[in-house]
Amino acid sequence: CVEVEHYCLDDEWTCSNTLCIPNVKRCDGHMNCYDHSDEFNC
Q: Has this prediction a pTM greater than 0.85?
A: no
Average model confidence (pLDDT) for the chain?
A: 91
- CA 7, 23, 26 angle in degrees (round to 5)? 110
27: which residues sit within 8 A by CB, 6+ positions away?
38, 39, 42
CATH number, domain with residue 21? 4.10.400.10
Question: Does residue 1 or residue 22 have the better pLDDT?
Answer: 22
- Tell me the per-residue pLDDT of 12-25, one tens digit each, with 9 for 90 and over: 999 999 999 999 99
Instruction: Look up the domain containing 17 and give its range.
Output: 1-42
Domain count, the chain: 1
Are 23 and 13 in contact, with CB atoms under 8 Å apart? yes
Question: Does residue 33 or residue 7 have the better pLDDT?
Answer: 33
